Amino acid sequence: MKQIAELTPNVKKLCLLSSIQIIIVAGAIVGFIIYMDKIVNFNALFEVFQELGAPPMEFSPFLRGGIIGIIVLTIIILVLNYLTLGKVRYVFYDDRLICYNNFLIMQVSETEIPYSNISSVSVGDSNTIKNADIKIELTGMKKQNMILKFIDNAAEVAGGIQNIINTYKANYYAQYSQDYRMKSIVEGNY
């Protein structure tokens, strides 16, 4: 197999979008905790436990610890997200596309798609300016489509992918025609 091209998503923009989503969720959780403290007044709850014999406590250290824990967890998730997304790549060989998904240094999955199973290539939703998803429709496979996410200049890349597939199919059909013609000459059915 000869490698024709390699494609990677725009990791910085993909991580930025993921970061925004994670920060919104973390902010919502922190906001919910603070809101619940104002409504329920957890200090009153701790006073009840103190009356039952528990040692004296205050909720504010728990609140600070919870918020710091959520911030640390968010930072860890963002770093792992960046390291994982940086390893995603799509490699085009002369007869197939192989999609590699890695987690840190471990290869999580490898999806192999022969060009003969690709029916169409189109540009999907535009995520940002000059970034979009490329949707590859598949036939004869369990997966019905594959989406290449956050590809720069997606329209040009989709055209290039379609050209690679068209070239492969043209060569395949020409070879099949040539083999059939040679077979009929050898068998004397020309």
CA-to-CA separations, 15 to 82, 96, 103, 104, 107, in angstroms, rounded: 6, 28, 15, 15, 20
Whole-angstrom distance, CA of residue 103 vs CA of residue 84: 5
Reported as a single tens digit per residue, the pLDDT across 145-171 is 888 888 888 888 889 999 999 988 888
Which strands, in side-by-side order, build the sheet including 118-128?
Answer: 118-128, 131-138, 145-152
pLDDT of residue 129: 53
Reported as a single tens digit per residue, the pLDDT across 43-52 is 666 677 677 7
With a cut of 80, say whether residue 189 has pLDDT above it: no
pTM of the entire predicted model: 0.67
Residue 30's pLDDT band, with cuts at 50, 70 and 90, is confident
pLDDT of residue 138: 92
pLDDT of residue 60: 67
Reported as a single tens digit per residue, the pLDDT across 53-93 is 767 666 667 677 777 888 888 888 888 877 777 788 899 99
Arithmetic mean of pLDDT over the chain: 81
Indicate the Cα dihedral angle 53, 57, 59, 61, nearest 10°.
Answer: -150
Whole-angstrom distance, CA of residue 182 vs CA of residue 79: 58
pLDDT of residue 56: 65
Q: How many CB atoms are closer than 10 A to CB 77?
A: 15
The per-residue b/e assignment along 121-160, b for 16 or more CB within 10 angstroms, e otherwise, is bebbeebeeebbbbbbebeeeeeeebebbbbeebeebbeb
Reported as a single tens digit per residue, the pLDDT across 91-141 is 999 889 998 887 766 767 888 999 989 999 988 766 555 678 889 999 888
pLDDT of residue 105: 67
